[in-house]
């Protein structure tokens, strides 16, 4: 952890104003945007400190939404998908609206119920260059696009193809196969750069 400047002290936690929710280093938070028509920003708290007047500030690492990235939102991006960026900032702790959870992609896809404060991240994003890590992800579908957890995927038990649109699978396969479909589960995948 970086040293604290003179006249400042590191804090272990911060209680969000008007709530009993406690924020600690490593927690993900929702931060109030300047434009109230926009959704809250999402960030991970890296440090909490107070100055000699007890003004609390947080050092955060920002998550970007796909539409905020250089490449923009693509078909395979889930509605709750975020990219962990290399963009750090210091903000007043008073701009924290609440806490949220940013899951790994694998854990997100296993959630029984996705809540309003649940998000997922499968990429790190370099804000200056628009680069992603990893630059390849597993694909399951015949369309060769990465898996979007918002879309139902089905597998033809005749040819074992995965398709993210049941209608397409039914149209394409109903004349060829007389076998049922199964929902997406664990299986083999190939990787594709995007």
- Where exactly are the structural domains of the chain? 9-133, 134-194
Determine the Cα–Cα distance for residues 36 and 19; give it in Å rounded to an integer. Answer: 20
CB 142 within 8 A of CB 161: yes
- Rg of the chain on CA atoms, in Å: 21
Q: Which fold has domain 9-133?
A: SH3 type barrels. (2.30.30)
Write down the CATH number for the domain with range 134-194: 3.30.40
Q: What is the pLDDT along the chain (194 residues), one digit of tens a residue?
A: 556 566 789 999 999 999 999 999 999 999 999 998 999 999 999 999 999 999 999 999 999 999 999 989 988 899 999 999 999 999 999 999 999 999 999 999 899 999 999 999 999 999 999 999 988 777 766 667 777 788 766 666 666 666 655 445 555 544 444 333 344 443 444 434 43
Q: What is the pLDDT of residue 178?
A: 39
Q: What is the pLDDT of residue 75?
A: 84
């Amino acid at each position: 952890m970086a040293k604290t400047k003179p006249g400042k002290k590191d804090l272990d936690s911060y209680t969000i104003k008007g709530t009993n929710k406690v924020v600690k280093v490593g927690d993900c938070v929702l931060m109030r945007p300047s434009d109230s028509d926009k959704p809250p920003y999402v960030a991970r708290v890296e440090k909490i400190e107070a100055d000699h007047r007890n003004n609390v500030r947080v050092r955060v690492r920002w998550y970007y939404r796909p539409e905020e990235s250089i490449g923009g939102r693509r078909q395979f991006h889930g509605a709750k998908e975020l990219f962990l960026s290399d963009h750090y900032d210091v903000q007043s702790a008073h701009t924290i609206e609440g806490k949220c959870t940013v899951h790994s992609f694998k854990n997100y896809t296993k959630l029984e119920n996705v809540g309003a404060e649940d998000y997922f991240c499968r990429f790190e994003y370099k804000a200056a260059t628009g680069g992603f890590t990893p630059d390849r992800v597993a694909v399951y579908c015949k369309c060769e696009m990465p898996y979007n957890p918002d879309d139902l995927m089905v597998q033809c038990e005749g040819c074992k193809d995965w398709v993210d649109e049941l209608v397409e699978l039914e149209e394409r396969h109903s004349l060829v196969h007389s076998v049922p479909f199964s929902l997406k589960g664990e299986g083999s995948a190939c990787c594709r750069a995007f």
